[in-house]
Amino acid sequence: MVFLPGWVEPLAGSLWEFDPVLGSFCAKAGALPCVAGLGPSQRRPSGSKAMAMTGVPYDCDVLVVGGGNAALCAAIAARRAGAAVLLLEAAPKALRGGNARHSRNMRVMHDAPTPWVRGRYPADDYLADLRRVAGNADDGLARLFVDASADIVDWLAGNGVRFQSCADEVLPYSRKTAFFLGGGKALVNALYATADGLGVAIRYDSTVRGLHLRDGAPAVTVGEPGVTVTARALVVASGGFQADSGWLRREWGEAADRFAIRGTPHATGIPLKALLDEGAEPVGAADRCHMVAVDGRAPPFDGGIVTRLDGIAHGIVVDRDGRRFADEGAVVGPSRYTAWGELVARCPGAVAISIFDAAIETRFRPSIFPAIRADSIGELARDLGISPPALEATVAGFNAAITGGGGTAGVDPPKTRLAEPITVPPFGAYPVRAGVTSTCLGVRVDERARVLRRDGAGLEGVYATGVVMAPNILGCGYLAGGAMTVGAVFGRIAGREAAAYALR
Ligand SMILES: Cc1cc2nc3c(=O)[nH]c(=O)nc-3n(C[C@H](O)[C@H](O)[C@H](O)COP(=O)(O)OP(=O)(O)OC[C@H]3O[C@@H](n4cnc5c(N)ncnc54)[C@H](O)[C@@H]3O)c2cc1C
């Protein structure tokens, strides 16, 4: 039996104690505190099947793998349903919370204005938006998801999350999304505080290395050397695999080496892969990511939303050979930045350059990194390390093709909107890279968030929420604010169902 120093102590707080006879960690009899909204413990008395397992150092009713929005919602829901819950977060405490730290809003259905969202966003509108981006995602699950989104703000608020009132007038107009007061980090901190207050046992720096689902009760191996934790039910909420550079390279080739990961470095997909190895049915696609255009100087991880390049539709975008490769005016609405991630990822060398002049530069929000500037296009090209004649020819050809109607004629690819000549020095440029939000491979779940095998049967006692199952709802598409709602809605379902299963 192996105990990791530092692993034992926090678990041995008020909720857990080491039983030297059984050789295992067990919840103290009656240890689950009674807190507001939570009834007395429904834990089985000692002598239950799992407690009798010898040689197993840790044991709980519901084990939650992950420490982001989805995991926290599941842990809180399971705990409120009376289960003894252990949450294992790979990240250290300072970086807990996964990508929710970077998020700011969630998409919710509502039939009348609320303090958090204006107007109405009826279920049919939400479903229509989902179908537009999600392709052939599961229709029944989508409807369940949309309906359940109606009270998720209230549920989160009841668990300590604060939302920004739209009466504050500091937010962009939105009838579809509610904004977290203080941003995603405040949401994460609030949910951790609630989980902790309810008595969820939380372990940081605890990477789950393996899942064992075959012999009745699920078990996981944690850390190195591996410690085994058994549970009556398991909720997997460990996000995608975008932070595993090897896996990303297998799907995208060498281009992956140029991607920036916009969020957590801990979403390496180990539990996702383990579920697939255990026979879970895959959904989505391994070679698709949700990506946006970011400044090429963004850090490799955790750059967050500030590294996004919002304004590149205003100028032109060229590849490393100085050639335009896409219609910069094709998407100019709020989701314009999302269109460019995959386009840049598929460029030679997976890099591109946004080019503009002093007049165009006044029309968009600048990057947080300074523009590279020069008094001529040739000089700019030299500074960027691309061929001056090639870039000069591209800019000259583009300028000559501009029509009076805001588009171009006779240049390939065309620019259909926002076409303005690039003539006013100093000329400016931003290097562009693909910034990955998350991968689009997940596991199939049913309406109870149970993980399904390829033959349609459920993996006994195993549930999933968040990015690890999001393609069931979002396909490989992007719906602003939708990802946080998936994690919260299915986290609440998974937690309740896992608790019911564990305590049955
Ligand atoms: C910059 C940025 C901005 C965003 N803005 C928004 C927004 O405004 N609205 C919106 O809806 N969505 C937004 N998103 C997406 C949203 O944040 C994510 O979809 C959501 O937070 C995913 O939650 P999750 O819990 O499923 O996964 P993640 O956030 O990826 O969390 C996974 C968790 O599991 C842990 N983990 C991973 N592997 C293991 C392991 N082996 N063992 C133990 N723990 C493990 C990780 O440490 C992490 O805590 C944004 C994302 C980014 C990057």
Q: Let me know the angle formed at the C-alpha of 380 by 378 and 385, rounded to the nearest 5 degrees.
A: 95
Whether residue 203 has its Cβ less than 6 Å from ligand 1: no
pLDDT at residue 326 above 60? yes
pLDDT at residue 28 above 50? no
Share of the chain above pLDDT 70, in %: 88
DSSP state of 501: H
pLDDT at residue 458 above 90? yes
Residues 273 and 442 sit within 8 Å (Cβ to Cβ): no
Whether residue 81 has its Cβ less than 6 Å from ligand 1: no
- State residue 354's pLDDT score: 97
Query: Which residue, by CA, sits nearest to atom 2 of ligand 1?
Result: 102
Average pLDDT, the chain: 88
Listed in order, strand segments (DSSP E) in 206-326 are 208-212, 219-222, 227-236, 260-261, 282-295, 316-318
Query: pLDDT digit string (tens) for 297-324?
Result: 999 999 999 999 988 899 999 999 999 9
Residue 71 CA, closest ligand 1 atom number: 25
How would you classify the pairing of strands 16-19 and 58-65?
A: unpaired
CA distance 291 to 437: 6
CA distance 322 to 393: 9
pTM beyond cutoff 0.85: yes
Distance of CA 39 to the CA centre of its chain: 32
CA–centroid distance, 404 to ligand 1, in Å, is 45
Residue positions counted in the chain: 504
Listed in order, strand segments (DSSP E) in 34-141 are 58-65, 85-88, 105-107
pLDDT at residue 13 above 90? no
Q: Ligand 1 pocket test: which of 266, 305, 489 has the largest number of ligand atoms within 8 Å of its C-beta?
A: 266
- State residue 27's pLDDT score: 40
Greater confidence (19 vs 410) lies with 410
CA distance 37 to 493: 17
Query: pLDDT digit string (tens) for 217-257?
Result: 888 999 877 888 999 999 999 999 999 999 999 999 999 99
When pLDDT is averaged across residues 124-128 and rounded to a whole number, the result is 96
Residues 91 and 206 sit within 8 Å (Cβ to Cβ): no
Share of the chain above pLDDT 90, in %: 79
Q: Ligand 1 pocket test: which of 484, 492, 493 has the largest number of ligand atoms within 8 Å of its C-beta?
A: 484
Q: Which of 35-44, 75-84, 336-345 has the highest mean pLDDT?
A: 75-84
Query: pLDDT digit string (tens) for 340-370?
Result: 999 999 999 999 999 999 999 999 999 999 9
How would you classify the pairing of strands 85-88 and 450-452?
A: unpaired
Query: pLDDT digit string (tens) for 423-439?
Result: 999 999 999 999 999 99
CA distance 504 to 495: 14
CA distance 445 to 138: 10
Query: Which residue, by CA, sits nearest to atom 6 of ligand 1?
Result: 103
H or E segment at 486? Answer: helix 482-502
Buried b (16+ CB within 10 A) or exposed e, 297-327: ebeebbbbbebbbbbbbbbbbbbbebbbbbb
Q: What is the DSSP string of 428-474?
A: EEEEEEEEEEEEEEEE-B-TT-EEEBTTSPEEEEEEE-GGGTTHHHH
Which residue type occupies 323?
Answer: R
- State residue 49's pLDDT score: 33
pLDDT at residue 18 above 80? no
pLDDT at residue 3 above 80? no
CA distance 251 to 127: 30
Query: pLDDT digit string (tens) for 278-288?
Result: 999 999 999 99
When pLDDT is averaged across residues 366-392 and rounded to a whole number, the result is 97
Q: Ligand 1 pocket test: which of 73, 93, 103 has the largest number of ligand atoms within 8 Å of its C-beta?
A: 103
pLDDT at residue 296 above 60? yes
- State residue 357's pLDDT score: 98
Whether residue 266 has its Cβ less than 6 Å from ligand 1: yes
Half-sphere exposure (Cβ direction) of 57: Cα atoms closer than 13 Å = 16
Greater confidence (101 vs 51) lies with 101
CA distance 252 to 42: 48
Greater confidence (25 vs 69) lies with 69
Residue 104 CA, closest ligand 1 atom number: 8
Question: What secondary structure, in 3-state letters, does 367-420 show?
Answer: CCCCCEEECCHHHHHHHHCCCHHHHHHHHHHHHHHECCCCCECCCCCCCCCCCC
Structure tokens that stand for 83 in this block: 């289960």
pLDDT at residue 273 above 50? yes
- State residue 53's pLDDT score: 30
Residues 452 and 464 sit within 8 Å (Cβ to Cβ): no
470 Cβ contact partners less than 8 Å away, ≥ 6 residues apart? 284, 438, 440, 442, 483, 486, 487
Residues 337 and 300 sit within 8 Å (Cβ to Cβ): no
Structure tokens that stand for 302 in this block: 């955790």
Query: Which residue, by CA, sits nearest to atom 10 of ligand 1?
Result: 481
Whether residue 242 has its Cβ less than 6 Å from ligand 1: no
Q: In sequence order, what are the beta bridge partners of 163?
A: 180
CA distance 213 to 201: 22
Residue 91 CA, closest ligand 1 atom number: 47
When pLDDT is averaged across residues 264-286 and rounded to a whole number, the result is 97
50, 105, 232, 273, 459 from 215: Cα distances, Å: 12, 41, 11, 19, 11
Model confidence band, residue 216 (pLDDT cutoffs 50, 70, 90): low
CA–centroid distance, 26 to ligand 1, in Å, is 30
Whether residue 75 has its Cβ less than 6 Å from ligand 1: no
When pLDDT is averaged across residues 202-213 and rounded to a whole number, the result is 94
- State residue 270's pLDDT score: 98
Whether residue 69 has its Cβ less than 6 Å from ligand 1: yes
Question: What does the radius of gyration of the chain's CA atoms come to, in whole angstroms?
Answer: 25
Model confidence band, residue 497 (pLDDT cutoffs 50, 70, 90): very high
Query: pLDDT digit string (tens) for 246-261?
Result: 999 999 999 999 999 9
Greater confidence (368 vs 36) lies with 368
Residues 126 and 146 sit within 8 Å (Cβ to Cβ): yes
When pLDDT is averaged across residues 19-32 and rounded to a whole number, the result is 36
Query: pLDDT digit string (tens) for 139-187?
Result: 999 999 999 999 999 999 999 999 999 877 777 778 999 999 999 999 9
- State residue 45's pLDDT score: 24
Closest CA to 75 of 391, 501, 498, 364: 498
Query: Which residue, by CA, sits nearest to atom 41 of ligand 1?
Result: 208
CA–centroid distance, 98 to ligand 1, in Å, is 4
- State residue 9's pLDDT score: 30
Residues 392 and 377 sit within 8 Å (Cβ to Cβ): yes
DSSP state of 100: G
CA–centroid distance, 35 to ligand 1, in Å, is 28
128 Cβ contact partners less than 8 Å away, ≥ 6 residues apart? none
- State residue 6's pLDDT score: 34
Whether residue 263 has its Cβ less than 6 Å from ligand 1: yes
CA distance 289 to 342: 8
H or E segment at 203? Answer: strand 201-203
CA–centroid distance, 102 to ligand 1, in Å, is 9
Query: pLDDT digit string (tens) for 473-495?
Result: 999 998 999 999 999 999 999 99
